[in-house]
Chains A and B, each alone.
Chain A
Amino acid sequence: MFEIVEREEMAQGTIISNWIKAPKIAQKAKPGQFVILRANEKGERIPLTMADTDPAKGLINVIYMVVGKSTALFKTLKVGDSYLDVIGPLGQPTHLEKVGKVVCVGGGTGIAVLHPITRGLKQMGNYVYSIIGARSKDLLILEDKMRKVSDELCVTTDDGTYGHKGFVTDVLDKILSENRDIGLAVCIGPVPMMKFCAKMTKEYGVKTLVSLNPIMLDGTGMCGCCRVQVGGKMQFACVDGPEFDGHEVDFEELNLRLRSYLPEEKLAYDRFKAAMGHTCACKS
């Protein structure tokens, strides 16, 4: 059992941060790696990239958005409650090195994944430009933490409620055109965002890492559920990734496969919401 020792609701309760007691994982985990969580006996296995770790206290941090049954179920877990299973660290750690100038781009909950990588790149002595974006101000997370590990930070919102109005790619284009010596880009967020970022950095010839989020089952390379096409080769995101060269990834295919279980996901979520509603009605 893996106890939640700290919990924060961000972005008006749609994004949740959990600090979970998992000493062995906290000892081993490196930026870019993920864990698989299962809330209870009937639960499914959900992959989440670690947003942070505190090895001294034996804690790991995951940040997730409530999008369906399992994440809604996770949201019901309060401080003192436990996940039944937390498995990890899984996946390859980010290869952190000094390249000079880097640009880190995060969208939505991707910012949570981006943060430890950005911090690692900063600690390596890189000059870090960061761009973080959200649909609107309410949904933006981790601005302060990102600011601390960046030399320059720019915020964008789709609706202009905060920072630059528009997409992260607008700012990315500006930074790339003004700084021809950028050696590496890291882009983490929704698939369309990563796709457009990678398309843009390719034009500038800047090597780009993306962190992929396909559907996973075991997370140890035994099923191939998370298979993605990278450079025309089948790769398993759970063991070969989750980070890949953004210029080589087939984003169209990833996007299609993410839609595998839309009807089932809707059914499960609707049932869950109805059951929660029912509980409330009984109590009243």
Chain B
Amino acid sequence: MSTENKAPEEVKAAKKEKIPRQKMPEQPPDVRRKNFEEVPYGYTPELAMKEAERCIQCKDPRCRQGCPVEIDIPGFIRFIKEGDFEGAIRKIWEKNSLPAVCGRVCPQEIQCEGLCILGKKDEPVAIGNLERFAADYQRLHGRDILPPKAAPTGKKVAVVGSGPAGLTVAGDLILKGHEVTIFEALHAPGGVLVYGIPEFRLPKEIVFHECNYLKRLGVKIELSQVIGRSETVDELLERFDAVFLGVGAGLPIFLKIPGEHYIGVYSANEYLTRSNLMKAYDFPNYDTPIVRGKKVATFGGGNVAMDAARTALRLGAEHSYIIYRRGREEMPARAAEIHHAEEEGVEFLLLTNPVRFLGNEEGFLTGVECLRMELGEPDASGRRRPVPIPGSEFTIEIDTAVIAIGSGANPLLTKSTPGLALNKWGYIIADPKTGKTMKPRVWAGGDIVTGAATVILAMGAGRLASNSIHDFLTYGW
């Protein structure tokens, strides 16, 4: 903004004039509902610098307390404000190896941005958008740089699972001079970032780029290694000084109602893995098929349900319903995700509970019978418990169903690992401050400890575990 040729009062007024939170340009809903390209385009350097100017550089920044990996937020924003984008990414890398991912998928409204002081009277600084900008700018225009690494310690760490928790542990420990090898069961690294979160929210190219960044730092990634079958944790302990388990909560939960075997009934894991990891949306150019339903119902109200319902639209559904047994207020999905789904035309059938699937003689799904619900007293989760209204049965015609009511602990690894203590749901018991399990030299973190949660919580758990592993490797405790 030029201040030349203006009276001093005008300059003062212009300075006082508040800069509004800069919106990120995005694809219009009627266009994007037909493609798998990313919805927001990202900030231009100009928009990013303008948004960075809004940060008042608090002495005791609260935003930082809201970040599970404690990025120096005012620090990196100051670099963006000055146009030093390389300085910004270096500052972020001190604490976070996956900024392009976090800038996109963190629920900033309840983390960093939720604590931003500007948010008290106005809109908070768009920290997520700025983090994303710094990472994208580096990827697309930056020099080939890496952060400094500590001298080699000669210690070896095995990380099982290449999701957000495992990638964080690997990124932290490699910088501290340890040798790190990641073991991943699928043929691509990234965990839920690559098989779960759709392309239109998190382009896979970005996940691979961030995994590549770890590889350039020296992390070894061994793909298609199913620990528990290919090799056991005890065998890893023979070759490595410490083992981190970040295998996630990858067990699909079904509705357990009649008719779940009909063709067209998917777990969200299967539906999203086919579409994202195997690129079934590009069948027959890619070999993996997927049922392209015209009337698709997704069961559940979380982020995974929103991802599945929006994927269904892009696969050509004329109707994509979200069927959820509670009300809108109780939906666990982020407000922004619900909003995006709504804009694209996802239809919400709330206070509705499926009782059985209907199918034809060839085994194809034709419909779902549901009951209407009303909200009763709050239950253990604090949310009002849905109660069926007797006699309110009705049928919805559908040809595809996606069950997105949560996931559990996959027992494949834990069953083959003696000495690990599990809770009654099969999750690994680990110290919440250190990630230490009951088994010596074995740490765990992320969804396999907490049950299905968010990307950034898994990363936060990874950070705690990596600090603890580093202490163990350095001092023996």
Binding site for B on A (CB under 8 A): 24-25, 28, 38, 42-45, 69-70, 73, 84-90, 217-218, 220-225, 227, 229, 234, 239, 253, 256-257, 259-261, 264-265, 267-268, 271
14 contacts between A and B (CB under 8 A): A24-B231, A44-B286, A84-B187, A87-B224, A87-B226, A217-B274, A220-B185, A224-B252, A227-B260, A256-B261, A257-B363, A259-B263, A261-B291, A268-B287
Check B362 for interface membership: any CB of A closer than 8 A: yes
Docked complex Cα distance between A217 and B267 (Å): 12
Kindly list 9 other residue pairs between chains A and B, CB separation below 8 angstroms, not including A42-B285, A88-B229, A224-B270. Answer: A44-B286, A89-B230, A90-B226, A217-B278, A223-B269, A225-B267, A259-B363, A260-B263, A267-B284
Using Cβ atoms and an 8 Å threshold, which residues of chain B touch A261?
Answer: 289, 291
Q: Is the CB of A42 within 8 A of B287?
A: yes
- Considering the complex, give the chain A residue whose CB is closest to the CB of B253: A224
Q: Is the CB of B291 within 8 A of A260?
A: yes
**In the complex, per-residue mask of B240-276: 1 if CB is within 8 Å of any chain A CB, else 0:** 0000000000111010100011010011011001100
Docked complex Cα distance between A86 and B187 (Å): 9
Q: Is the CB of B273 within 8 A of A265?
A: no
Using Cβ atoms and an 8 Å threshold, which residues of chain A touch B412?
Answer: 220-221, 239
Report if A28-B284 is in contact (Cβ < 8 Å); known contacts: A217-B274, A222-B250, A259-B363.
Answer: no
Docked complex Cα distance between A2 and B254 (Å): 35
B270's partner among A42, A225, A239 (CB-CB below 8 A) is A225
Q: Is the CB of B284 within 8 A of A256?
A: no
Q: Is the CB of B226 within 8 A of A268?
A: no
Docked complex Cα distance between A90 and B289 (Å): 23
Docked complex Cα distance between A87 and B183 (Å): 12
Using Cβ atoms and an 8 Å threshold, which residues of chain B touch A24?
Answer: 230-231
B261's partner among A45, A69, A88, A253 (CB-CB below 8 A) is A253
Task: Tell me how far the C-beta of B204 lies from the nearest C-beta in chain A, rounded to whole angstroms.
Answer: 13
Task: Tell me how far the C-beta of B49 lies from the nearest C-beta in chain A, rounded to whole angstroms.
Answer: 39
Report if A28-B229 is in contact (Cβ < 8 Å); known contacts: A234-B254, A267-B284, A271-B284.
Answer: yes
Q: Is the CB of A268 within 8 A of B284?
A: yes
Task: Tell me how far the C-beta of A143 lies from the nearest C-beta in chain B, rounded to whole angstroms.
Answer: 32
Using Cβ atoms and an 8 Å threshold, which residues of chain B touch A222?
Answer: 250-252, 269, 273, 410
Docked complex Cα distance between A225 and B287 (Å): 16
- Considering the complex, give the chain B residue whose CB is closest to the CB of A265: B289
Using Cβ atoms and an 8 Å threshold, which residues of chain A touch B263?
Answer: 256-257, 259-260
Q: Is the CB of B289 within 8 A of A223?
A: no
Using Cβ atoms and an 8 Å threshold, which residues of chain B touch A88?
Answer: 226, 229-230
Task: Tell me how far the C-beta of A38 lies from the nearest C-beta in chain B, rounded to whole angstroms.
Answer: 6
Task: Tell me how far the C-beta of A232 lies from the nearest C-beta in chain B, rounded to whole angstroms.
Answer: 12
Using Cβ atoms and an 8 Å threshold, which residues of chain A touch B57?
Answer: none
Docked complex Cα distance between A25 and B263 (Å): 33
Using Cβ atoms and an 8 Å threshold, which residues of chain B touch A221?
Answer: 250-251, 410-412
Report if A256-B252 is in contact (Cβ < 8 Å); known contacts: A44-B288, A85-B224, A224-B269.
Answer: no
Lowest 5 CB-CB distances: which A-B pairs, in order? A256-B363, A264-B289, A223-B270, A222-B250, A44-B287
Using Cβ atoms and an 8 Å threshold, which residues of chain A touch B394?
Answer: none
Task: Tell me how far the C-beta of B136 lies from the nearest C-beta in chain A, rounded to whole angstroms.
Answer: 25
Task: Tell me how far the C-beta of A167 lies from the nearest C-beta in chain B, rounded to whole angstroms.
Answer: 25
Using Cβ atoms and an 8 Å threshold, which residues of chain B touch A271?
Answer: 284
Using Cβ atoms and an 8 Å threshold, which residues of chain A touch B252?
Answer: 222-224
A44's partner among B250, B254, B278, B362 (CB-CB below 8 A) is B278
Docked complex Cα distance between A239 and B412 (Å): 7
Docked complex Cα distance between A224 and B252 (Å): 7
Using Cβ atoms and an 8 Å threshold, which residues of chain A touch B285?
Answer: 42
Docked complex Cα distance between A157 and B153 (Å): 66
- Considering the complex, give the chain B residue whose CB is closest to the CB of A87: B224
- Considering the complex, give the chain B residue whose CB is closest to the CB of A36: B224
Using Cβ atoms and an 8 Å threshold, which residues of chain A touch B278?
Answer: 44-45, 217
Q: Is the CB of A218 within 8 A of B288?
A: no
B286's partner among A28, A42, A234 (CB-CB below 8 A) is A42
Check B472 for interface membership: any CB of A closer than 8 A: no
A38's partner among B187, B250, B266, B291 (CB-CB below 8 A) is B187
Task: Tell me how far the C-beta of A164 lies from the nearest C-beta in chain B, rounded to whole angstroms.
Answer: 34
Check B387 for interface membership: any CB of A closer than 8 A: no
Report if A256-B230 is in contact (Cβ < 8 Å); known contacts: A217-B273, A268-B284.
Answer: no
Using Cβ atoms and an 8 Å threshold, which residues of chain A touch B273?
Answer: 217-218, 222-223
Task: Tell me how far the C-beta of A43 lies from the nearest C-beta in chain B, rounded to whole angstroms.
Answer: 5
Report if A217-B224 is in contact (Cβ < 8 Å); known contacts: A44-B288, A229-B261.
Answer: no
